[in-house]
Structure 1
Amino acid sequence: MSEFNRKIIVDAITRMLARREHSYMEITAKLTQKGYAESQVAPIIEEFREADIQSDQRFAEAMVRSALSKGRGPRRLSADLTRHDISESLVDAAVAEVEPDWFELALSVREKKFGLAEPSDFKRRQKQMQFLQYRGFLQAHIDYAMQGHKD
């Protein structure tokens, strides 16, 4: 690889990571789309990893915080991170770092979308439950959210 190509790849990775955290797979995909061979890109990304500039762990933590702020549940979060080729151990560590209360998050997401009142009929209840399921919450979280503040 020429020194010129190396400089372009290093600059591209630096620009990506300056904006936000990126996963190893995401950086590789973006650079291969630009026409660089994976064999050219991989050693340079490894250098960024060794210098702790690129970290899949930080990426996973950022994704967890983002998912919480967007009102997404654990299933959706796990699916998003799996698409970025993040290992399950990194996902578990990132979730443990933040310690989210999925039950309260599901309740607040339901209340934000549909209000405080309980659904008046079966059809509306199903619609709310499907919405929470789409957001990635587990059935226990959905049941808690549908009960409202009645504990």
Structure 2
Amino acid sequence: MRAKKPVQNAKQAAVRYLSRRDHAEQELQQKLLARGYEHAEVDEAVTLCQDYNWLDDARFAERLLNNGIAKGGGLLRIRQEMAFKGIHEEVVSQLFEDDDFDWFEHAREVARRKYGDSPMESDKEKARRLRFMQSRGFDFEQVKYALGVDDEY
């Protein structure tokens, strides 16, 4: 069921959304359509915002990347969040292609902040730490490096 016809026009609503925080193009389109605006109005509003550089998927993706790193997220989780927000795969691929961030050292730092220098005393503790790091979005090689695990798990 569509919402009733909004009082503001789509351009005003788009600018209001973007004044609060950055959005991905697809995310903004979905919000406007959910508010009851027609597709043509939404497309016109998105084009206007892009023309004035208020809406930029590459800038939004870079901000998500920086925020994800600051929160201790791994590459896989950050990519998943970008996909969830509707950022085009080409933009995401280009961002990570140009990126020279050391994900292995980042994983090690996240593990150090969480666990300090305490040793893993049991297989249960080892499994718990592996699950935690993987839930943060680090791949298995990065997790092994971060935790200093040499054996296959």
TM-score, normalised with respect to structure 2: 0.83
Deviations 1:56-103 (A, max 9, x none): 111111110111011111111111111222223311332355532111
Residue 114 of structure 2 is aligned to residue 113 of structure 1: yes
Deviation for aligned residue 1:107: 1.1
Whichever structure has more helix as a proportion of its residues is: 1
Distance 2:99 2:21 in 1: 18
Does structure 2 conserve the Cα–Cα contact (< 8 Å) formed by 1:76 and 1:135? yes
Does structure 2 conserve the Cα–Cα contact (< 8 Å) formed by 1:64 and 1:95? no
Q: State the AA in 2 paired with 1:99.
A: D
Q: State the AA in 2 paired with 1:137.
A: F
C-alpha distance 44-64 of structure 1, shift in aligned 2 (>3 A): same
RMSD: 2.0
In the other structure, the counterpart of 2:55 is 54
Deviation for aligned residue 1:113: 1.7
In the other structure, the counterpart of 2:13 is 12
Deviation for aligned residue 1:6: 9.3
Instruction: Structure 2: give runs of 5+ residues left out of the alignment.
Output: 1-5
C-alpha distance 90-6 of structure 1, shift in aligned 2 (>3 A): farther
Aligned residues: 144
Does structure 2 conserve the Cα–Cα contact (< 8 Å) formed by 1:24 and 1:45? yes
Does structure 2 conserve the Cα–Cα contact (< 8 Å) formed by 1:118 and 1:146? no
